[in-house]
């Protein structure tokens, strides 16, 4: 994956007191190839590499202290910048309802995402959304939206398949006004490819209801095509933002990196699964850190906060800050992850875990998780709270008690220690995680 490739590229800078221009150039060549292989748009890659090199030269990093760390810091900043810098939120209309129009190709995830957004607003803002069924080409499309609405207890406005979608949108917004709905989501039709009749219809809907946001839903799995699709829709429809779906799948991440640079429009959310809870706010800085293999502690903490009770999440935050995260917390986290569903995605957010072979298959194999738990449960309370106690003889006892090889026990303890160190550094907002990566 991209993270592994980038980490390998940076490993070449590691351990060198001084970095030559040639070292920098060969590292940047690796970075460039890694980005291209991840399906990042060619022009975007060229601009990116140029900017990193310019900044590195401008700041004279090769002459300074820790040039390797500084270069990674520049790469992190430029990746964040490339994805839009700050997080972009849904705009709230000055007067209700806020109108959100969805657009996108067939199968991109429009209907599902309408449900995800409505659910999120309902949960977080006690919003009263209305969903408008404006895809009249497939009878099943209306039914699908009605099912989504029923799942989250949100009403759906539909007028069947015989009414013009533009009229449905207008009538739906009127209904929302009459019922004091604060948000409306217009679920539109898609096509397998961009064509004029689809774009005409979408333009008409847009002109008729003046959406607060026009969001394009694109499938991240389609790689470079996702970027082309975004460009096409933006040219025709002047979208306000993008939702990138199916990031849970085996995607190469290129779309997330290129869309803002190519269209000038930010990614607002990402879809992380088929369930209506699987929607994340897009944070360019966190995505950059994740791509650089630093994990994504902040997203993890946030996700935990949504799923478990707030008090526990606050305690976790405190513990990370105080560096007193212990094996009890670790097993607690694993169990919560297990309850949350896709462990594999979440593991990737934990620093040091993303490339961890022992944990890579956790999602597929629940036994793997049981082994980890067995090891932790074989520790005494004191050992769990104070992992420094775990000397070789204690480790041998734990291996026997959990029926696991000593190597597995050692590996888990090592991973735990690395994770704890990185969590602490990342949560303190310094570049510690990267320093650690460079010095490891």
Which is closer to Mg ion, CB of 111 or CB of 402?
111
Q: Is the peptide bond before 97 cis (omega within 30 degrees of 0)?
A: yes
Residue of 67, 68, 84, 109 that binds ligand GDP (CB under 6 A): 109
Rule CB under 6 A: which of 178-197 touch ligand GDP? Answer: 190
> Do the annotations mark residue 238 as ligand-binding?
no
Comparing every residue's Cβ against Mg ion, the nearest one is 111
- Residues of this chain, 236-275, that bind ligand GDP according to CB under 6 A: 245-246, 248-249, 271-274
Binding mask 50-89 for ligand GDP (x = CB under 6 A): ----------------------------------------
Size of the site for Mg ion (CB under 5 A): 2
CA separation for the pair 17, 67 (Å, rounded): 8
From the list 112, 229, 304, 425, which residue makes contact with ligand GDP (rule: CB under 6 A)?
A: 112
User: Would the annotation count 118 as a binding residue?
Assistant: no
Our finding on whether 104 is near ligand GDP (CB under 6 A) is yes
- Minimum CB separation from ligand GDP for residue 247, in Å? 7
What DSSP string runs through 76-116? HHHHHHHTTSS---PPPPSSSPEEEEEE--TTSSHHHHHHH
Positions in 99-128 near Mg ion (CB under 5 A): 110-111
Q: Choose the one of ligand GDP, Mg ion, none that binds residue 329, judging by a C-beta under 5 to 8 angstroms depending on kind.
A: none
Choosing among Mg ion, ligand GDP, none, which partner's interface includes residue 67 (Cβ < 5 to 8 Å by kind)?
none
* Selection from 411, 410, 432, 412 nearest residue 422 by Cα: 432
Query: Which segments of 59-195 does DSSP mark as H helices, in order?
Result: 67-82, 110-125, 139-152, 165-179
HEC per residue, 407-429: HHHHHHHHHHHHHHHHHHHHHCC
**Binding site partner of 106, from Mg ion, ligand GDP, none, Cβ cut-off 5-8 A by kind:** ligand GDP
Q: Where are the beta strands (DSSP E) in 179-278?
A: 183-188, 213-219, 241-245, 267-271
Closest separation in Å from C-beta 138 to Mg ion: 8
Q: Does 341 bind ligand GDP (CB under 6 A)?
A: no
Interacting partner of 212 out of Mg ion, ligand GDP, none (Cβ under 5 to 8 A depending on kind)? none
**Residue 28: in which H helix or E strand, if any?**
helix 21-37
**Whole-number Å distance between alpha carbons of 102 and 240:** 11
Nearer to ligand GDP, 145 or 257 (CB): 145
Q: 222: annotated binding-site residue?
A: no
Q: Is 322 helix (H, G, I), strand (E, B) or coil?
A: helix
Radius of gyration, CA atoms only, the chain: 24
Phi, psi for 107 (deg, rounded to 5):
85, 0
List the strands of the sheet with 183-188, edge to edge.
Answer: 156-157, 129-134, 183-188, 98-103, 213-219, 241-245, 267-271, 279-281
Which of 34, 49, 108, 230 contacts ligand GDP by CB under 6 A?
Answer: 108
- Give least dist CB 383 to ligand GDP, A: 40
In the complex with ligand GDP, the residue whose CB is nearer, 108 or 209, is: 108
Tell me how far, at minimum, the Cβ of 189 lies from ligand GDP, in Å: 8
Find, among 239, 252, 245, 313, the residue nearest to 279 by Cα. Answer: 245
Does 15 sit near ligand GDP (CB under 6 A)? no
Among ligand GDP, Mg ion, none, the one that 80 touches (CB under a kind-dependent 5 to 8 A) is none
Q: Provide the 10 A C-beta neighbour count for residue 51.
A: 16
Binder of residue 211, out of ligand GDP, Mg ion, none (CB less than 5 to 8 A by kind): none
- Can you tell me the distance from the alpha carbon of 16 to that of 440, in angstroms, rounded to the nearest whole number? 13
Total residues in contact with ligand GDP, by rule CB under 6 A: 19
In three-state secondary structure terms, 404 is: coil
Give every CB contact of residue 7 below 8 A, 6+ residues apart in sequence: 292, 293, 355, 437
**Residue 104, marked binder:** yes
Residue 105 counted as an annotated binding residue: yes
* Residue 200 is labelled as binding a ligand: no
- Is 107 known to sit in a ligand binding site? yes
Where is the binding site, in residues? 104-111, 187-191, 245-248
Instruction: Return residues touching ligand GDP (CB under 6 A).
Output: 104, 106-112, 190, 217, 245-246, 248-249, 271-274, 278
Instruction: Return residues touching Mg ion (CB under 5 A).
Output: 110-111
Where is the binding site for GTP, in residues? 104-111, 187-191, 245-248
């Amino acid at each position: 994956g991209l993270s592994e490739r980038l980490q390998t590229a940076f490993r070449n800078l590691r351990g060198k007191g001084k970095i030559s221009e040639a070292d920098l150039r060969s590292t940047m060549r690796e970075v460039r190839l890694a980005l291209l292989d991840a399906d990042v748009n060619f022009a975007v890659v060229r601009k990116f590499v140029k900017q990193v090199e310019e900044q590195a030269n401008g700041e004279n990093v090769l002459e300074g202290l820790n040039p390797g760390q500084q270069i990674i810091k520049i790469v992190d900043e430029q990746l964040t910048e490339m994805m839009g810098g700050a997080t972009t939120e849904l705009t709230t209309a000055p007067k209700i309802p806020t109108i959100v129009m969805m657009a996108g190709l067939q199968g991109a995830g429009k209907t599902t995402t309408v449900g995800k957004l409505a659910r999120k607003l309902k949960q977080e803002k006690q919003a009263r959304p209305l969903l408008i069924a404006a895809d009249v080409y497939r009878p099943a499309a209306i039914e699908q939206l009605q099912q989504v609405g029923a799942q989250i207890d949100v009403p759906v406005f539909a007028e069947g398949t015989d009414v013009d979608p533009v009229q449905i949108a207008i009538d739906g917004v009127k209904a929302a006004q009459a019922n004091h709905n604060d948000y409306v989501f217009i679920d539109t039709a898609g096509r397998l490819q961009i064509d004029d009749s689809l774009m005409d219809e979408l333009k008409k809907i847009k002109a008729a209801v003046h959406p607060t946001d026009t969001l394009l839903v694109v499938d991240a799995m389609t790689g470079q095509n996702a970027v082309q699709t975004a460009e096409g829709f933006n040219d025709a429809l002047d979208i306000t933002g993008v939702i990138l779906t199916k990031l849970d799948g085996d995607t190469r991440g290129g779309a997330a990196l290129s869309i803002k640079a190519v269209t000038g429009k930010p990614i607002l959310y990402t879809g992380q699964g088929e369930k209506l809870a699987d929607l994340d706010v897009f944070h360019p800085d966190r995505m950059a850190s994740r791509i650089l293999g630093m994990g994504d502690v902040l997203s993890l903490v946030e996700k935990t906060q949504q799923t478990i009770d707030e008090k526990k999440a606050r305690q976790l935050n405190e513990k990370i800050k105080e560096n007193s995260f212990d094996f009890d917390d670790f097993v607690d986290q694993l169990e919560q992850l297990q309850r949350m569903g896709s462990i594999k995605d979440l593991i990737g957010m934990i620093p040091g875990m993303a490339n961890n072979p022992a944990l890579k298959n956790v999602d597929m194999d629940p036994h793997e998780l049981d082994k980890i738990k067995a090891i932790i449960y074989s520790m005494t309370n004191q050992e769990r709270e104070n992992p420094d106690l775990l000397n070789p003889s204690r480790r041998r006892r734990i291996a026997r008690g959990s029926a696991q090889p000593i190597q597995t026990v050692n590996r888990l303890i090592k991973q735990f220690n690395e994770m704890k160190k990185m969590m602490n550094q990342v949560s303190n907002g310094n570049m510690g995680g990267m320093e650690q990566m460079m010095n490891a």
